[in-house]
């Protein structure tokens, strides 16, 4: 390798930045995407799960976890990385990639929610970090092992209750769930709801197992296979029950979900408001060409 190439490689290393992963409670060094990486991201259009896995590979390629004992980057396999890192923390890593690669998310159309005054603003990635953007995992049990049961009582049928054992999913869980949906469904979700997953897919992502109790004291029938969980939720769980489980889950876990926003004070009416950025949606917009 020539000295010139070595110098360019060193330039990439200089641009690395340290990112803290609040839920996995790890530190990571993130380095910029290259032109080739950006091209790969924009041309993977065969299916959502392949895109998601390739995005995870890009993250893995450009992230080095820092060893707590040696304070130096440590090697891990792709499979181990996806299994260890919380999907919530992936959002922080995607922000890190944006920050070290692009610096800016571009000019955004801003509307004051009070007086409806409209204006454009160029937003840089470092402007959306605020003191309370994320909460560090503060539960004694590691996130991978923590389960939060949500009970749905169903006295109107011949069973007593359904218990959803929910969890914070890993990157690998997210990849697995996307295998169940088509590219058309993914785009439909985005067009209708500005989200990647529908409610049934979201509930599948956060559910570790479903326990069905026929009686108060009886042993439950358990659904733990992810494909069966998805089919059960999609075909047999009502919208109201799905909403109730997700609402209870969010009440327990939402504080750990990172938020990226820029604060504004309207020049016309002095109303203070926040403009939120979803960096994962930005990546999917590139993928879908929207």
Sorted by where each starts, the structural domains of the chain and their CATH numbers stand as 3-124 (3.30.2220), 143-256 (3.30.2220)
* Residues in CB range of 199: below 8 A, 6 or more apart: 239, 242, 243, 246
Check residue 55 and give its pLDDT. 85
**101: exposed, middle or buried (C-beta count within 10 Å: 0-12, 13-18, 19+)?**
middle
Q: Tens digits of per-residue pLDDT, 42-61?
A: 665 556 667 778 889 989 99
- Give yes or no for a contact between 85 and 26, defined as CB atoms under 8 angstroms apart: yes
pLDDT of 47: 63
Does residue 70 have a pLDDT over 80?
Answer: yes
Percent of the chain at pLDDT above 90? 60
What kind and span of H or E run contains 26?
strand 26-30
Phi, psi of 273 (to 5 degrees): -155, 170
Least Cα distance to 168 among 56, 49, 23 occurs for: 23
At 253 the pLDDT is 96
Query: What is the distance between the alpha carbons of residues 191 and 185, in angstroms, rounded to a whole number?
Result: 10
**Per-residue model confidence (pLDDT) at position 188:** 75
Half-sphere exposure for 122 (CA within 13 Å, toward CB): 3
pTM of the model: 0.83
Comparing 27-41, 82-96, 142-156, 245-259, the range with the smallest average pLDDT is: 27-41
pLDDT at position 11 is 47
Q: Is the pLDDT of residue 7 over 50?
A: no
Q: What rounded mean pLDDT belongs to the chain?
A: 86
């Amino acid at each position: 390798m020539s000295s010139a190439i070595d110098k360019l490689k060193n330039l990439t290393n200089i641009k690395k930045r340290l990112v803290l992963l609040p839920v996995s409670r790890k530190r990571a060094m993130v380095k910029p995407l290259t032109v080739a990486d950006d091209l790969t991201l924009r041309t993977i259009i065969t299916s959502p799960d392949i895109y998601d896995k390739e995005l995870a590979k890009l993250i893995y390629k450009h992230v080095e976890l820092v060893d707590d004992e040696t304070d130096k980057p440590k090697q891990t396999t792709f499979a181990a990385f996806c299994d260890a890192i919380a999907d919530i923390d992936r959002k922080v890593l995607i922000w890190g990639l944006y920050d070290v690669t692009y610096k800016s998310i571009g000019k955004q159309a801003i509307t004051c929610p009070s007086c409806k005054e409209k204006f454009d603003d160029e937003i840089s990635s470092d402007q959306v970090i605020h003191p309370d953007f994320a909460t560090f995992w503060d539960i004694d049990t590691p996130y991978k092992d923590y389960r939060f049961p949500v009970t749905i009582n169903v006295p109107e049928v011949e069973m007593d209750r359904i218990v959803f054992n929910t969890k914070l999913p890993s990157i690998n869980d997210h990849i697995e769930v996307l295998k169940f949906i088509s590219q058309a469904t993914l785009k439909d979700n985005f067009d209708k709801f500005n989200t990647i997953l529908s409610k049934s897919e979201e509930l599948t992502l956060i559910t570790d197992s479903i326990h069905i109790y026929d009686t108060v004291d009886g042993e439950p029938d358990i659904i733990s296979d992810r494909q069966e969980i998805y089919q059960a939720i999609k075909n047999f769980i009502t919208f109201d029950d799905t909403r109730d489980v997700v609402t209870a889950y969010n009440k327990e876990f939402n504080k750990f979900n990172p938020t990226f926003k820029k604060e504004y004070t309207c020049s016309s009416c002095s109303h203070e408001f926040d403009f939120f950025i979803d960096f994962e949606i930005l990546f999917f917009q590139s993928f879908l060409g929207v």
